[in-house]
């Protein structure tokens, strides 16, 4: 048999301490969210995570895929912002192939790819709107493991991304409605290759 070479790896454990809180503000009114019930929250860096007054930006499907000619963040400065994105990729509910292999999710549509793309664009955080079909699993699945620690390889790579998570669909719908927006209309807009992330005000 061939010799095996093992490269030792060290991991960093990221624990979210009791008392963590998540709240969105719309029109000057706070929307406190129950972590593990209405939203999930994962820490992305070691040390204290304290994010306040970060503007929300709608990133569509959050897809950055040069080969397919899609870049939701081209020319958009996400520094200091929390980007809110849709699950899956533009083809999923389009009823036609927009270049993403139909209803089969491509790598750019996976949640890890969305977080990486948002981080590269300078986002402070990313929240995915959870829909059972688009995510391919129920919200309970992500919520039930919400309080578990995260593990990342050391050394930690410098990243602007401080947090990531999921928003339950009804919570996201409520947020958008308070802003005079509608989820299905935003989905249609985000299926256009020319779509660019836009501020949620």
Query: What is the predicted pLDDT for the residue at 195?
Result: 94
Closest CA to 50 of 163, 151, 166, 159: 163
b/e sequence 101-130, b meaning 16+ C-beta within 10 Å: eeeebbebbebebbbbbbbebbbbbbbbbb
Give the closest residue to 58 by CA, choosing from 193, 159, 175, 147.
Answer: 175
- Residue 101 is predicted with a pLDDT of 62
Tell me the C-alpha distance between 62 and 50, whole Å.
Answer: 24
How far does Cα 88 stand from its chain's mean position?
A: 11
Q: DSSP per residue over 137-200, as a string?
A: S-HHHHHHTTTSPEEEESSPPP-S--EEEEEEHHHHHHHHHHTT--HHHHHHHHTSTT---EEE
Per-residue pLDDT tens listing for the chain (201 residues): 556 655 556 787 888 878 889 999 888 889 999 999 999 998 887 777 888 889 999 999 999 988 888 999 999 999 999 999 999 888 888 877 676 766 666 667 688 999 999 999 999 999 999 999 999 999 999 998 887 777 777 777 777 889 999 999 999 999 999 999 999 999 999 999 999 999 997
pTM of the model: 0.88
Q: Looking at residue 198, what is its pLDDT?
A: 95
Cβ neighbors of 123 (< 8 A, separation 6 or more) are 57, 78, 79, 81, 82, 83, 160, 161
């Amino acid at each position: 048999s061939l010799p095996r070479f093992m490269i030792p790896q060290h991991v960093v454990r990221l624990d979210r301490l009791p008392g963590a809180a998540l709240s969105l503000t719309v029109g000057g009114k706070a929307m406190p969210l129950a972590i593990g019930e209405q939203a999930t929250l994962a820490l992305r860096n070691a040390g204290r995570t304290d994010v306040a007054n970060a503007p929300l930006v709608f990133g569509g499907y959050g897809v950055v895929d040069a080969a397919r000619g899609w870049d939701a963040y081209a020319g958009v400065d996400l520094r200091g912002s929390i980007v809110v994105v849709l699950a899956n990729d533009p083809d999923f509910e389009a009823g036609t192939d927009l270049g993403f292999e139909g209803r089969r999710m491509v790598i750019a549509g996976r949640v890890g790819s969305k977080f990486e793309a948002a981080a590269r664009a300078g986002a402070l955080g990313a929240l995915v709107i959870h829909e059972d079909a688009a995510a391919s699993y129920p919200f309970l699945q992500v919520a039930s493991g919400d309080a578990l620690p995260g593990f990342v390889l050391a050394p930690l790579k410098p990243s602007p991304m401080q947090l990531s998570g999921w928003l339950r669909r009804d919570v996201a719908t409520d947020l958008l409605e308070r802003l005079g927006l509608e989820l299905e209309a935003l989905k249609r807009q985000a299926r256009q290759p020319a779509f660019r992330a836009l501020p949620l005000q």
